[in-house]
Structure 1
Amino acid sequence: MSENETPNGPVRVRRIVEGNALRALAHPLRVQIYDILAQYGPQTASSLAQMTGESTGSTSYHLRALAKHELIQEVEGRGNARERWWERPRGSVTFGSAEGLKTPSGRAATQVVMTEFFNRRHQQLMQYIADGIAHPVDDSPAVITTATARLTDAQMGELSTRVMAIIDEYVDAYRDQTGDGVRAVSIRADIFPLPEEGH
Protein backbone atom coordinates (compact mmCIF):
# COMPACT_ATOMS: atom_id res chain seq x y z
CA MET A 1 0.00 0.00 0.00
CA SER A 2 1.45 3.37 -0.95
CA GLU A 3 0.30 6.78 -1.98
CA ASN A 4 0.02 7.23 -5.73
CA GLU A 5 1.05 10.39 -7.54
CA THR A 6 -1.33 11.90 -10.06
CA PRO A 7 -0.95 15.04 -12.17
CA ASN A 8 -2.95 16.84 -9.47
CA GLY A 9 -0.78 15.64 -6.56
CA PRO A 10 -0.82 12.71 -4.15
CA VAL A 11 -3.81 10.42 -3.87
CA ARG A 12 -4.33 9.34 -0.27
CA VAL A 13 -4.48 5.58 0.06
CA ARG A 14 -6.84 4.42 2.77
CA ARG A 15 -6.76 0.81 3.87
CA ILE A 16 -9.38 -1.00 5.89
CA VAL A 17 -7.66 -3.67 7.98
CA GLU A 18 -10.15 -6.45 8.51
CA GLY A 19 -10.53 -10.21 8.41
CA ASN A 20 -7.34 -12.25 8.74
CA ALA A 21 -5.11 -9.15 8.70
CA LEU A 22 -7.02 -7.61 11.61
CA ARG A 23 -6.87 -10.87 13.57
CA ALA A 24 -3.11 -11.09 12.87
CA LEU A 25 -2.65 -7.57 14.24
CA ALA A 26 -4.77 -8.30 17.34
CA HIS A 27 -1.81 -8.92 19.66
CA PRO A 28 -0.42 -6.32 22.09
CA LEU A 29 3.18 -6.52 20.86
CA ARG A 30 2.16 -6.47 17.20
CA VAL A 31 0.08 -3.34 17.74
CA GLN A 32 3.05 -1.77 19.52
CA ILE A 33 5.44 -2.69 16.69
CA TYR A 34 2.98 -1.45 14.07
CA ASP A 35 2.54 1.86 15.89
CA ILE A 36 6.29 2.36 16.37
CA LEU A 37 6.80 1.90 12.62
CA ALA A 38 4.00 4.42 11.99
CA GLN A 39 5.42 6.99 14.42
CA TYR A 40 9.20 6.58 14.09
CA GLY A 41 9.67 5.13 10.63
CA PRO A 42 11.67 2.10 9.50
CA GLN A 43 13.16 -0.18 12.15
CA THR A 44 14.95 -3.52 12.44
CA ALA A 45 14.06 -6.40 14.73
CA SER A 46 17.00 -5.32 16.92
CA SER A 47 15.92 -1.69 17.23
CA LEU A 48 12.33 -2.77 17.92
CA ALA A 49 13.61 -5.14 20.62
CA GLN A 50 15.34 -2.19 22.31
CA MET A 51 12.23 0.00 22.04
CA THR A 52 9.82 -2.66 23.32
CA GLY A 53 11.98 -4.49 25.85
CA GLU A 54 11.41 -7.77 24.00
CA SER A 55 13.96 -10.17 22.54
CA THR A 56 15.09 -9.85 18.94
CA GLY A 57 13.70 -13.32 18.27
CA SER A 58 10.28 -12.21 19.49
CA THR A 59 10.19 -9.00 17.46
CA SER A 60 11.47 -10.85 14.39
CA TYR A 61 8.68 -13.43 14.73
CA HIS A 62 6.00 -10.76 15.04
CA LEU A 63 7.43 -8.76 12.15
CA ARG A 64 7.10 -11.80 9.90
CA ALA A 65 3.50 -12.30 11.03
CA LEU A 66 2.66 -8.67 10.21
CA ALA A 67 4.43 -8.89 6.84
CA LYS A 68 2.53 -12.05 5.93
CA HIS A 69 -0.68 -9.99 5.94
CA GLU A 70 0.95 -7.00 4.19
CA LEU A 71 0.54 -4.82 7.26
CA ILE A 72 4.24 -3.96 6.99
CA GLN A 73 6.85 -4.37 4.29
CA GLU A 74 10.61 -4.55 3.87
CA VAL A 75 12.33 -1.28 3.04
CA GLU A 76 13.65 -1.53 -0.50
CA GLY A 77 17.40 -1.13 -0.88
CA ARG A 78 18.14 -1.02 2.83
CA GLY A 79 19.61 -3.71 5.06
CA ASN A 80 21.01 -7.13 4.31
CA ALA A 81 20.33 -10.81 5.00
CA ARG A 82 21.28 -10.38 8.67
CA GLU A 83 19.55 -7.07 9.30
CA ARG A 84 16.25 -6.43 7.57
CA TRP A 85 14.54 -3.04 7.77
CA TRP A 86 10.76 -2.84 8.02
CA GLU A 87 8.25 -0.05 7.48
CA ARG A 88 4.53 0.54 7.63
CA PRO A 89 3.21 1.29 4.14
CA ARG A 90 2.02 4.83 3.61
CA GLY A 91 -1.61 5.80 3.76
CA SER A 92 -4.25 6.00 6.42
CA VAL A 93 -5.66 2.91 8.10
CA THR A 94 -9.06 2.03 9.50
CA PHE A 95 -9.22 -0.92 11.88
CA GLY A 96 -12.27 -3.07 11.28
CA SER A 97 -15.30 -2.55 9.07
CA ALA A 98 -19.03 -2.35 9.58
CA GLU A 99 -19.36 -5.78 8.00
CA GLY A 100 -16.60 -7.26 10.16
CA LEU A 101 -18.15 -5.89 13.34
CA LYS A 102 -21.16 -8.11 12.73
CA THR A 103 -19.12 -11.19 13.68
CA PRO A 104 -17.88 -12.08 17.18
CA SER A 105 -14.30 -12.63 15.94
CA GLY A 106 -14.34 -9.31 14.07
CA ARG A 107 -15.57 -7.44 17.13
CA ALA A 108 -13.02 -9.15 19.39
CA ALA A 109 -10.08 -8.41 17.07
CA THR A 110 -11.18 -4.79 16.59
CA GLN A 111 -11.51 -4.36 20.36
CA VAL A 112 -7.99 -5.68 21.01
CA VAL A 113 -6.39 -3.55 18.29
CA MET A 114 -8.20 -0.33 19.21
CA THR A 115 -7.65 -0.80 22.94
CA GLU A 116 -3.92 -1.48 22.57
CA PHE A 117 -3.45 1.34 20.06
CA PHE A 118 -5.19 4.01 22.12
CA ASN A 119 -3.71 2.80 25.41
CA ARG A 120 -0.26 3.31 23.89
CA ARG A 121 -1.13 6.75 22.53
CA HIS A 122 -2.74 7.74 25.84
CA GLN A 123 0.37 6.65 27.75
CA GLN A 124 2.45 8.86 25.45
CA LEU A 125 0.13 11.80 26.13
CA MET A 126 0.30 11.26 29.89
CA GLN A 127 4.10 11.02 29.72
CA TYR A 128 4.19 14.33 27.84
CA ILE A 129 1.99 15.93 30.50
CA ALA A 130 4.13 14.52 33.33
CA ASP A 131 7.34 15.73 31.64
CA GLY A 132 5.78 19.15 31.09
CA ILE A 133 4.84 19.47 34.75
CA ALA A 134 8.27 18.31 35.88
CA HIS A 135 10.13 20.49 33.36
CA PRO A 136 7.86 23.37 32.21
CA VAL A 137 8.58 24.97 28.83
CA ASP A 138 7.00 28.40 28.42
CA ASP A 139 7.27 28.62 24.65
CA SER A 140 6.14 25.10 23.65
CA PRO A 141 3.92 25.15 20.54
CA ALA A 142 2.08 22.00 21.65
CA VAL A 143 -1.66 22.18 22.32
CA ILE A 144 -3.74 19.86 24.44
CA THR A 145 -7.31 21.02 24.34
CA THR A 146 -10.85 19.79 24.60
CA ALA A 147 -14.17 21.46 23.78
CA THR A 148 -17.83 20.58 23.54
CA ALA A 149 -20.36 21.76 20.98
CA ARG A 150 -23.92 20.74 20.16
CA LEU A 151 -23.93 19.50 16.56
CA THR A 152 -26.10 17.56 14.17
CA ASP A 153 -24.65 14.48 12.48
CA ALA A 154 -24.15 16.53 9.30
CA GLN A 155 -22.27 19.25 11.20
CA MET A 156 -20.12 16.69 12.99
CA GLY A 157 -19.33 15.09 9.62
CA GLU A 158 -18.35 18.46 8.16
CA LEU A 159 -16.08 19.21 11.14
CA SER A 160 -14.46 15.78 10.89
CA THR A 161 -13.80 16.26 7.18
CA ARG A 162 -12.25 19.71 7.70
CA VAL A 163 -10.02 18.55 10.57
CA MET A 164 -8.84 15.51 8.60
CA ALA A 165 -8.09 17.71 5.57
CA ILE A 166 -5.75 19.85 7.68
CA ILE A 167 -4.06 16.80 9.18
CA ASP A 168 -3.69 15.17 5.74
CA GLU A 169 -2.17 18.37 4.34
CA TYR A 170 0.55 18.46 7.01
CA VAL A 171 1.24 14.74 6.86
CA ASP A 172 1.63 14.88 3.06
CA ALA A 173 3.90 17.94 3.23
CA TYR A 174 6.17 16.93 6.10
CA ARG A 175 6.04 13.15 6.54
CA ASP A 176 9.65 12.62 5.39
CA GLN A 177 11.14 15.89 6.61
CA THR A 178 14.57 15.68 8.22
CA GLY A 179 16.99 18.22 9.66
CA ASP A 180 17.70 20.25 12.76
CA GLY A 181 14.76 20.67 15.09
CA VAL A 182 12.64 18.03 13.33
CA ARG A 183 11.09 15.36 15.56
CA ALA A 184 8.18 12.95 15.42
CA VAL A 185 4.93 14.63 16.47
CA SER A 186 1.68 12.89 17.39
CA ILE A 187 -1.39 14.44 15.78
CA ARG A 188 -4.64 13.36 17.36
CA ALA A 189 -8.22 14.41 16.70
CA ASP A 190 -11.17 13.09 18.68
CA ILE A 191 -14.61 13.99 17.37
CA PHE A 192 -17.45 11.82 18.62
CA PRO A 193 -20.95 12.12 20.11
CA LEU A 194 -21.22 12.08 23.88
CA PRO A 195 -23.60 9.67 25.63
CA GLU A 196 -27.17 10.91 25.91
CA GLU A 197 -27.77 13.16 28.88
CA GLY A 198 -28.65 11.22 32.01
CA HIS A 199 -26.89 8.02 30.80
Structure 2
Amino acid sequence: MPEPEDRPTHLLDARSLRGLAHPLRMRLLTALRRGGPATASQLAEKLGESSGATSYHLRQLAEHGFVEDAPEHGKGRERWWRAVHGGVQFDESLLRHADPTVRGAASAFLHEVATTHAQELSTFLGTTHEWSEEWYRASDASDFTLRLPPALALELVQKMHDLVEHYRTQASAEAAPDAEQVRVHTHVFPVRTN
Protein backbone atom coordinates (compact mmCIF):
# COMPACT_ATOMS: atom_id res chain seq x y z
CA MET A 1 0.00 0.00 0.00
CA PRO A 2 1.40 3.47 -0.85
CA GLU A 3 2.59 5.83 1.87
CA PRO A 4 -0.23 8.08 3.21
CA GLU A 5 1.19 11.20 1.56
CA ASP A 6 1.15 9.38 -1.81
CA ARG A 7 -2.52 8.42 -1.53
CA PRO A 8 -5.24 10.61 -2.99
CA THR A 9 -7.07 13.16 -0.86
CA HIS A 10 -10.70 12.76 0.15
CA LEU A 11 -13.16 15.56 -0.65
CA LEU A 12 -15.27 16.10 2.45
CA ASP A 13 -19.02 16.03 2.03
CA ALA A 14 -21.70 16.60 4.69
CA ARG A 15 -21.73 12.96 5.83
CA SER A 16 -17.97 12.44 6.01
CA LEU A 17 -17.50 15.84 7.67
CA ARG A 18 -19.80 14.77 10.52
CA GLY A 19 -17.66 11.66 10.95
CA LEU A 20 -14.39 13.60 11.12
CA ALA A 21 -15.26 16.88 12.88
CA HIS A 22 -14.16 15.81 16.37
CA PRO A 23 -10.80 16.81 17.88
CA LEU A 24 -9.77 13.28 18.89
CA ARG A 25 -10.79 11.78 15.55
CA MET A 26 -8.75 14.39 13.72
CA ARG A 27 -5.75 13.69 15.97
CA LEU A 28 -6.12 9.93 15.46
CA LEU A 29 -6.27 10.31 11.69
CA THR A 30 -3.24 12.60 11.71
CA ALA A 31 -1.28 10.12 13.86
CA LEU A 32 -2.08 7.28 11.44
CA ARG A 33 -1.17 9.37 8.39
CA ARG A 34 2.15 10.43 9.84
CA GLY A 35 3.15 7.42 11.92
CA GLY A 36 1.67 4.58 9.89
CA PRO A 37 -0.52 1.72 11.08
CA ALA A 38 -1.14 1.37 14.81
CA THR A 39 -3.46 -0.22 17.35
CA ALA A 40 -5.98 1.68 19.46
CA SER A 41 -3.78 1.05 22.52
CA GLN A 42 -0.67 2.43 20.81
CA LEU A 43 -2.58 5.52 19.70
CA ALA A 44 -4.07 5.97 23.18
CA GLU A 45 -0.60 5.98 24.71
CA LYS A 46 0.77 8.35 22.06
CA LEU A 47 -2.13 10.82 22.40
CA GLY A 48 -2.68 10.55 26.16
CA GLU A 49 -6.18 9.10 25.79
CA SER A 50 -7.91 5.94 27.02
CA SER A 51 -7.86 2.94 24.70
CA GLY A 52 -11.66 2.79 25.02
CA ALA A 53 -11.94 6.31 23.59
CA THR A 54 -9.47 5.67 20.80
CA SER A 55 -11.20 2.36 19.90
CA TYR A 56 -14.60 4.05 19.72
CA HIS A 57 -13.38 6.95 17.59
CA LEU A 58 -11.38 4.68 15.28
CA ARG A 59 -14.55 2.69 14.60
CA GLN A 60 -16.36 5.95 13.81
CA LEU A 61 -13.57 6.97 11.43
CA ALA A 62 -13.81 3.54 9.77
CA GLU A 63 -17.58 3.88 9.39
CA HIS A 64 -17.03 7.14 7.50
CA GLY A 65 -14.23 5.72 5.29
CA PHE A 66 -11.21 7.48 6.80
CA VAL A 67 -9.43 4.44 8.29
CA GLU A 68 -9.41 0.71 7.64
CA ASP A 69 -8.03 -2.48 9.10
CA ALA A 70 -4.36 -3.22 8.50
CA PRO A 71 -4.47 -7.00 9.06
CA GLU A 72 -0.91 -7.58 7.83
CA HIS A 73 0.32 -5.90 11.03
CA GLY A 74 -1.86 -7.78 13.50
CA LYS A 75 -0.89 -10.68 15.70
CA GLY A 76 -3.61 -12.62 17.43
CA ARG A 77 -6.46 -10.38 18.51
CA GLU A 78 -4.66 -7.08 17.95
CA ARG A 79 -6.56 -4.83 15.58
CA TRP A 80 -4.34 -2.52 13.56
CA TRP A 81 -5.64 0.54 11.74
CA ARG A 82 -4.29 2.61 8.84
CA ALA A 83 -5.33 5.82 7.10
CA VAL A 84 -7.16 5.36 3.80
CA HIS A 85 -6.39 8.78 2.25
CA GLY A 86 -3.37 11.06 2.19
CA GLY A 87 -5.44 14.05 3.30
CA VAL A 88 -8.79 15.74 3.04
CA GLN A 89 -10.04 18.63 0.95
CA PHE A 90 -12.55 20.95 2.53
CA ASP A 91 -15.50 22.09 0.42
CA GLU A 92 -16.23 25.69 1.44
CA SER A 93 -19.92 25.25 0.56
CA LEU A 94 -20.23 23.20 3.77
CA LEU A 95 -19.98 26.47 5.74
CA ARG A 96 -23.20 27.60 4.03
CA HIS A 97 -25.00 24.23 4.10
CA ALA A 98 -28.76 24.32 4.76
CA ASP A 99 -28.36 22.02 7.79
CA PRO A 100 -27.06 23.94 10.83
CA THR A 101 -25.38 20.79 12.21
CA VAL A 102 -23.29 20.57 9.03
CA ARG A 103 -22.35 24.25 9.33
CA GLY A 104 -21.40 23.65 12.97
CA ALA A 105 -19.31 20.60 12.05
CA ALA A 106 -17.60 22.61 9.29
CA SER A 107 -16.75 25.40 11.70
CA ALA A 108 -15.47 22.94 14.33
CA PHE A 109 -13.37 21.17 11.70
CA LEU A 110 -11.75 24.39 10.44
CA HIS A 111 -11.01 25.63 13.96
CA GLU A 112 -9.34 22.31 14.77
CA VAL A 113 -7.29 22.56 11.56
CA ALA A 114 -6.15 26.07 12.53
CA THR A 115 -5.21 24.87 16.03
CA THR A 116 -3.27 21.93 14.59
CA HIS A 117 -1.38 24.17 12.16
CA ALA A 118 -0.37 26.51 14.99
CA GLN A 119 0.75 23.56 17.15
CA GLU A 120 2.79 22.05 14.32
CA LEU A 121 4.61 25.30 13.63
CA SER A 122 5.25 25.88 17.35
CA THR A 123 6.59 22.34 17.71
CA PHE A 124 8.96 22.86 14.80
CA LEU A 125 10.18 26.18 16.18
CA GLY A 126 10.81 24.55 19.55
CA THR A 127 12.78 21.70 18.02
CA THR A 128 14.83 23.44 15.32
CA HIS A 129 18.02 22.41 17.16
CA GLU A 130 17.15 18.77 16.37
CA TRP A 131 17.25 19.36 12.61
CA SER A 132 20.27 19.80 10.36
CA GLU A 133 21.29 23.23 9.13
CA GLU A 134 20.19 22.11 5.67
CA TRP A 135 16.64 21.38 6.91
CA TYR A 136 16.54 24.59 8.93
CA ARG A 137 17.41 26.60 5.80
CA ALA A 138 14.77 24.65 3.83
CA SER A 139 11.98 25.58 6.27
CA ASP A 140 9.78 28.66 5.95
CA ALA A 141 7.38 30.63 8.12
CA SER A 142 6.60 33.55 5.84
CA ASP A 143 3.44 35.56 5.51
CA PHE A 144 2.37 37.92 2.78
CA THR A 145 -0.35 40.49 2.39
CA LEU A 146 -1.75 41.10 -1.08
CA ARG A 147 -4.65 43.16 -2.35
CA LEU A 148 -6.64 40.83 -4.61
CA PRO A 149 -10.20 40.40 -5.86
CA PRO A 150 -11.85 37.03 -5.10
CA ALA A 151 -11.12 35.65 -8.59
CA LEU A 152 -7.36 36.23 -8.25
CA ALA A 153 -7.35 34.89 -4.68
CA LEU A 154 -9.01 31.70 -5.97
CA GLU A 155 -6.45 31.48 -8.78
CA LEU A 156 -3.65 31.85 -6.22
CA VAL A 157 -5.07 29.01 -4.11
CA GLN A 158 -5.34 26.72 -7.14
CA LYS A 159 -1.80 27.50 -8.27
CA MET A 160 -0.45 26.78 -4.77
CA HIS A 161 -2.30 23.45 -4.71
CA ASP A 162 -0.99 22.59 -8.17
CA LEU A 163 2.56 23.42 -7.07
CA VAL A 164 2.29 21.20 -3.99
CA GLU A 165 0.94 18.37 -6.16
CA HIS A 166 3.88 18.81 -8.56
CA TYR A 167 6.35 18.35 -5.70
CA ARG A 168 4.40 15.39 -4.29
CA THR A 169 4.66 13.65 -7.68
CA GLN A 170 8.33 14.56 -8.13
CA ALA A 171 9.30 13.37 -4.63
CA SER A 172 7.46 10.06 -5.12
CA ALA A 173 9.35 9.43 -8.35
CA GLU A 174 12.79 10.25 -6.91
CA ALA A 175 12.62 8.60 -3.44
CA ALA A 176 15.62 10.53 -2.07
CA PRO A 177 17.32 8.93 0.96
CA ASP A 178 17.31 12.22 2.92
CA ALA A 179 13.58 12.82 2.38
CA GLU A 180 11.40 13.63 5.40
CA GLN A 181 7.69 14.30 5.73
CA VAL A 182 7.23 18.02 5.11
CA ARG A 183 4.12 19.92 6.22
CA VAL A 184 2.88 22.70 3.96
CA HIS A 185 0.23 25.00 5.42
CA THR A 186 -1.56 27.48 3.21
CA HIS A 187 -4.04 30.06 4.38
CA VAL A 188 -5.65 32.56 2.05
CA PHE A 189 -8.31 34.73 3.64
CA PRO A 190 -9.47 38.36 3.55
CA VAL A 191 -8.88 40.75 6.46
CA ARG A 192 -10.54 44.04 7.30
CA THR A 193 -8.21 47.02 7.33
CA ASN A 194 -10.48 49.35 9.33
TM-score (norm 2): 0.79
Q: Secondary structure at the match of 1:59?
A: helix
Unaligned 5+ residue runs, structure 2? none
Q: CA deviation at 1:170?
A: 2.2
**How large is the RMSD of aligned CA atoms in angstroms?**
3.1
Distance 1:80 1:173 in 2: 36
Give unmatched runs, 5+ long, in structure 1: 3-9
Residue 7 of structure 1 corresponds to none
Give TM-score scaled by structure 1 length.
0.77
Equivalenced residue count is 187
Provide, for residues 116-152 of structure 1, a one-character-per-residue CA deviation record: whole Å limited to 9, x for no partner. Answer: 22212211211222334x7796541111101111222
Closer, same or farther in 2 for the Cα pair 1:52/1:79, shift >3 Å?
same
Structural mapping, 1:1-199, within 5 Å: 13-75=8-70, 77-95=72-90, 98=93, 101-132=97-128, 138-139=133-134, 140=136, 141-174=138-171, 181-195=178-192, 197-198=193-194
3-state SS of paired residue (1:83): coil
Structure 1 residue matching 2:163: 3-state secondary structure: helix
**Is the CA contact 1:40–1:184 (under 8 Å) kept in the aligned structure 2?**
no
Distance 2:27 2:70 in 1: 19
Quick one: structure 1 residues 44 and 170, their matched pair in 2 at CA, closer, same or farther if it must change by over 3 Å?
farther
Output the amino acid matched with 1:98. Answer: S
CA contact (8 A) 2:71 2:79 kept: no
More helix, by proportion? 2
Identical columns (%): 29
Question: For each residue in 1:67-122, what CA deviation from the matched residue of structure 2 results, as whole angstroms up to 9, or x when unmatched?
Answer: 01112122363324522332222354234552562321011111222212221221
Structure 2 SS opposite 1:77: helix
Structure 1 residue identity aligned to 2:143? T
Partner AA of 2:103 in structure 1: R
Instruction: Report the more deviating stretch, 79-88 or 67-76.
Output: 79-88
